[in-house]
């Protein structure tokens, strides 16, 4: 008895272990919508080219719609014995419409079929991710406008560096998300070519119209080389690469939230919506959502690494190794989607402790650079000399255990006689941030203008769809 999928070449059933390692329906069942869409486009093209009859194409289309409805309602039985989504759909189609179902596979292979399905799937992921990132940006921008003048410490080496505003800090992640979206949009452009019609690897002798199926499926054009069409997964790798970078951005922000919510820092609070308690310590409020975002990043990076390792040694064309392209990628995409949505929720939920932020901004002699700049600007001192003088003044303040703006003027003048009382006007954290008016700087008017510009940009994107 020949194998029902592979035809007369095989007379025995595969070993149980072979069936187990070969089956993919548990994963590729998620491609059902894309598989059916591609099959409908293929059937319509076959009829238009006179390869199958219009009647068969009509019956195939109706049968595929029935299957789509059955799956959507949860009434479809996925059979592991049929290996994958393609054979499950085709088998059910045969039950519904009879022998005409077998004509659907004319001029195509599971090789170009799965490549098409997965491109459609990843394209959907890209569109969904872009929308999620736009929502994340919008949440950040709204909070940035609200806190354009809220002073907080800026850090380098996790040490207090210079005062910035909370709005400025949030806008940094808006810019990161914009680049993430740009990478995904670039990936989508390169992805948007159709493998359908490449068949197993060499094309087909049937007079198919690959431009027609590409257009029907929303692709820009058919892929130009049949070997390339079925054998590369760089569209998944590129998307996962962008996803990994995006996940790292989410993780960095999540780490800051973990730090900021610690009682040792206490610069922001999260509500019950995004924190959890302890089973033994009743006082605890743990930032578990942020911690899990950090962890989800590992899944995304792991998915990228895993697929790179799968693909690195494969000669042309299709190899069964490539069946392993989906599970890790799908899990990685799902992890990133959840992370973005969680971060968006936390941005909307967090409440900054403005008083504590301002106090922290002034600690660690954060306005020392403002003093050095004043020496350069007012006394025309070379910056390196100003840096040295400022260092000595900071040391004097530290010796007395006072803030820089509380150090008596005469003690400053003992180090640099030409310093005047005007210097006191630049040493507060408010004065410091207001002075940072250079393009991209943290001055509140800069932050407010940038936030408003981003709101206009995001609203324009929304209207354009």
Tell me: cis bond preceding 82? Omega within 30 of 0 counts: no
Phi, psi of 304 (to 5 degrees): -65, -50
Phi-psi category of residue 264: left, alpha or beta, with phi > 0 → left and psi -120 to 50 → alpha? alpha
**Residue keyed to tokens 């740009």:** 182
**E strands in 318-456:** 351-352
Q: What does DSSP assign to residue 276?
A: B
Three-state DSSP class for 355? helix
Measured torsion, CA atoms of residues 463, 337, 116, 102, in degrees rounded to the nearest 10: -110
Q: Which of 222, 241, 349 is nearest to 304 (CA)?
A: 241
Q: How far apart are CA 408 and CA 115, in angstroms?
A: 73
Which residues belong to the active site?
157, 278
DSSP H or E segment with residue 160: strand 159-165
What are 286's strand-pairing partners? 276
């Amino acid at each position: 008895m020949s194998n029902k999928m592979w035809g007369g070449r095989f007379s025995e059933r595969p070993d149980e272990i072979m069936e187990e390692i070969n089956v993919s329906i548990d994963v590729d069942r998620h491609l059902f919508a894309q598989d059916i869409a591609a099959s409908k486009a293929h059937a319509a093209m076959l009829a238009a080219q006179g390869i199958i009859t219009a009647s068969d194409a009509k019956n195939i289309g109706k049968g595929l719609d029935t299957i789509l409805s059955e799956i959507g309602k949860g009434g479809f039985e996925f059979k592991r014995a049929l290996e994958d989504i393609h054979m499950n759909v085709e088998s059910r189609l045969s039950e519904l419409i009879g022998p005409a179902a077998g004509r659907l596979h004319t001029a195509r292979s599971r090789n170009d079929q799965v490549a098409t399905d997965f491109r459609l799937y990843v394209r959907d992921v890209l569109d969904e991710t872009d929308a999620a990132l736009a929502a994340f940006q919008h949440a950040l921008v709204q909070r940035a406008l609200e806190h354009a003048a809220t002073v907080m410490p800026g850090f380098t080496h996790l040490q207090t560096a210079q005062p910035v505003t909370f709005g400025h800090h949030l806008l940094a992640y808006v810019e990161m998300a914009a680049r993430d979206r740009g990478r995904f949009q670039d990936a989508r452009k390169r992805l948007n070519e159709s493998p359908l019609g490449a068949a197993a690897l060499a094309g087909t002798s049937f007079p198919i119209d690959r431009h027609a199926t590409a257009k029907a499926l929303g692709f820009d054009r058919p892929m130009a080389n049949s070997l390339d069409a079925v054998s590369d997964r760089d569209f998944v790798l590129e998307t996962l690469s962008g996803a990994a970078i995006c996940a790292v951005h989410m993780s960095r922000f999540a780490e800051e939230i973990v730090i900021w919510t610690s009682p040792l820092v206490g610069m922001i609070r999260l509500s019950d919506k995004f924190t959890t308690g302890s089973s033994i310590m009743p006082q605890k409020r743990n930032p578990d959502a942020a911690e899990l975002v950090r962890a989800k990043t590992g899944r995304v990076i792991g998915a990228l690494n895993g697929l790179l390792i799968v693909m690195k040694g494969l000669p042309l064309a299709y190899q069964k190794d490539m069946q392993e392209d989906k599970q890790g990628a799908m899990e990685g995409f799902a992890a990133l989607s959840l992370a973005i949505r969680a971060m968006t929720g936390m941005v909307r939920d967090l409440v900054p402790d403005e008083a504590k932020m301002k106090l922290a901004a002034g600690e660690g002699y954060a306005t020392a650079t403002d003093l050095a700049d004043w020496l350069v600007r007012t006394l025309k001192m070379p910056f390196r000399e100003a840096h040295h003088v400022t260092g000595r003044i900071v040391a004097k303040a530290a010796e007395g255990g006072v803030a820089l703006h509380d150090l008596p003027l005469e003690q400053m003048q003992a180090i640099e006689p030409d310093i005047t009382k005007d210097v006191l006007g630049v040493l507060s954290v408010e004065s410091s941030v207001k002075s940072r008016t250079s393009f991209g700087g943290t001055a509140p008017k800069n932050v407010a203008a940038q936030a408003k510009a981003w709101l206009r940009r995001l609203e324009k994107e929304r209207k354009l769809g």
